[in-house]
Amino acid sequence: MTAHGVSTARPLNPLFWLGGPMLICVLATVLLATPLRVFGLALPEPVFPLAMAFAWAVIRPSILPPFALLALGLFLDVFWGGPQGLWPLCLLAAYAAVLAARRLIMGQDFLFMWGWYGLVIAAAFGAGFVLMSMDAGAPPNVLAVVWQYLATLALFPFAHRLVERYEDADVRFR
């Protein structure tokens, strides 16, 4: 609210709070997958949709985000050549975990929310690690998983910005 009592909350138009971030996730994933090496190191490949799974669950419970996460997860599976269903399962599990703890997370300060984000993506990466180990018969490279986790952890400011932008848009669910 402003000083004059007028609400500054943005309406929850699905095109803006779901469509825009989905497009950004896809474009960022493709951009960072370019085979560019800087000082012999490849670009990091964070799981951008995990930041959206966190933000969308905190912003508002809705029927639309799980379908958006399913689509993003299937895109990741096809794009990265992984087993079909791996990333949708991890993204939906992260969304469900945040949704279950939503009342504890909402309204907290930046560092507290970052801690929750870190726990949620660690659980998602843990589930992905176990599923990939079962599918491949051997565990993935642990160092690569840790680097991907850290790169995804660094995306929290973007998720937090999305939460701040829309957190007061629909007070029916508070």
pLDDT tens digit sequence for 75-88: 999 999 889 999 99
Contact between 72 and 26 (Cβ < 8 Å) = yes
- In the predicted structure, residue 126 carries a pLDDT above the cut 50: yes
Residue ranges covered by each domain of the chain? 14-169
pLDDT tens digit sequence for 90-115: 999 999 999 999 999 988 999 999 99
Contact between 149 and 121 (Cβ < 8 Å) = yes
Span 14-169: which CATH code?
1.10.1760
Residues 6+ apart with CB under 8 A from 112: 105
pLDDT of residue 72: 96
CA distance 154 to 118: 9
pLDDT of residue 173: 43
Lowest mean pLDDT among 32-41, 42-51, 89-98, 144-153: 32-41
Query: What is the distance, to the nearest Å, from the Cα of residue 119 to the centroid of all Cα atoms in its chain?
Result: 12
pTM: 0.85
pLDDT of residue 9: 53
In the chain, % of residues over pLDDT 70: 86
**b/e map of 114-125 (b: 16 or more CB within 10 Å)?**
bebbbebbeebb
Going by pLDDT thresholds of 50, 70 and 90, the confidence category of residue 44 is confident
Contact between 66 and 92 (Cβ < 8 Å) = yes
pLDDT of residue 1: 47
CA distance 125 to 5: 43
